[in-house]
Amino acid sequence: MKQQYFKDKVVVITGASSGIGLACARLFAAQGAKLALAARSLDKLQVIQKELPAAVLAVKTDVSKEEDCRKLIEQTIATYGGIDILVNNAGISMRAVFKDLDLKVLHQLMDVNFWGCVYCTKYALPSLLERKGSVVGVTSIAGFKGLPARTGYSASKFAMNGFLDTLRTEHLYDDLHVMIFAPGFTASNVRFSALTADGSPQGETPRKEEKMMSAETVARHMLRGLRKRKDQMILTPLGKAAVLVNKFFPKLVSRMEYKMMKAEPDSPLS
C-alpha cells in the first residue's frame, strides 16, 4: 500500500469504537491520516484517541439522530478544514423471522444502518465534492440478496446500496468517489449485539468468529479500494459467488441461504 496516499487526508469513521471501524482507524492513523471518530461511547473513543499516533477528534455520535450527525460533520470541518473520506460503518444486525418481529426492531435497523449513512453523507457532501473525496458504505451481501431471519438487516442494506449507487450516478462527472463495501462475515461484536424479535440483544454469536475474516484484514482491503477508487468491493469468495449466481439462479441461492441460516444454533428458522 502506498504510504503517502492517505497522509494528511481527513477521514470520518462512524462506528469507530470497535470491529471494522476501530481497525480502519488504526490503519488510517498508521498511514498519516487525520481522524474524526464517531460512536455512542465517548469513553471508548477517548481511549482510542490516546492510543493512536495521529490527530484524532472524538465525537459522541448516535447516527440514528440527524442532529448528532450534523454536529459530527460540523466539528470535523471546524477542526480540520474539510473532509476527504467518509466511512459510513456504524451498523446493527438482527436475528428473527418477520412474522415474529416487533416492528420497532425494523425501524431501529433502518434508523442506524440506512438513515445514519444518509445523514452523515448529506452534511459531508459539500466538503467531499470540493475535495473530490470518497464516501464508503460498509454494507453486506444481505444488501444484494435477501437473507432469511435478517429481514430488517437486509432491508436496511438494500436501501443503503440503492442510495449510494444513485449518489454515485448523480455525481458521475463531479469526481466524487462512492464505494459500496461488502466485507462478508467478519469477526466482530456485531452478532453479540444483534437484536432479537423483541428488540433485546441476542448476547452471543451463532457463528464461529475465529474462522471469519479479521477486522484488520477487512480494513486493509478498504484502504486498498479507496486508493484505487473502486465502485464496489465484495471481499469473500462465498459473497462473490452468491451475488453472481443469484443473477442467473436466484431460487438456488435462496435454498442455499435458507439451509445455511437454518443450520445456525437456535435458528429462528428451525
**pLDDT of 179-191, one tens digit each?**
999 997 766 556 5
pLDDT in the model for residue 104: 97
Q: Are 233 and 240 in contact (CB under 8 A)?
A: no
What is the per-residue pLDDT for 209? Answer: 53
User: How many Å apart are CA 192 and CA 102, to the nearest integer?
Assistant: 19
Query: pLDDT tens digit string along 28-69?
Result: 999 999 999 999 999 999 999 999 998 999 999 999 999 999
Taking residues 237-253, report their average pLDDT: 93
Find, among 156, 181, 160, 176, the residue nearest to 94 by Cα: 156
Per-residue pLDDT, averaged over 21-34, amounts to 97
The residue from 80, 119, 123, 153 that is catalytic is: 153
Grid coordinates of 42: 465517548
Amino acid identity, residue 74? E
pLDDT at 270: 83
Percent of the chain residues topping a pLDDT of 70: 93
* Residue 1: predicted pLDDT: 47
CB-CB contact of 46 with 38 (8 Å): no
Instruction: Calculate the average pLDDT of the chain.
Output: 93
Answer yes or no: 258 catalytic.
no
The predicted structure's pLDDT at residue 4: 86
pLDDT of residue 187: 63
Give the per-residue pLDDT at 184.
78
Model confidence band, residue 2 (pLDDT cutoffs 50, 70, 90)? low
Model confidence band, residue 210 (pLDDT cutoffs 50, 70, 90) = low
Residue-wise pLDDT tens digits, 77-103: 999 999 999 999 999 999 999 999 999
Q: Where residue 207 falls among pLDDT bands split at 50, 70, 90? A: low
Read off the pLDDT of residues 158-171 as tens digits, 9 standing for 90 and up.
Answer: 999 999 999 999 99
Mean predicted confidence (pLDDT) in 213-230: 96
**Residue 156: which of 196, 106, 193 has the closest Cα?**
106
Average pLDDT over every residue of 152-156: 97
Cα–Cα distances in angstroms (integers) from residue 25 to residues 15, 160, 191, 227, in the given order: 10, 22, 21, 16
Q: Provide the pLDDT for residue 124.
A: 98
Return the half-sphere exposure (C-beta side, CA atoms, 13 A cut-off) of residue 37.
32
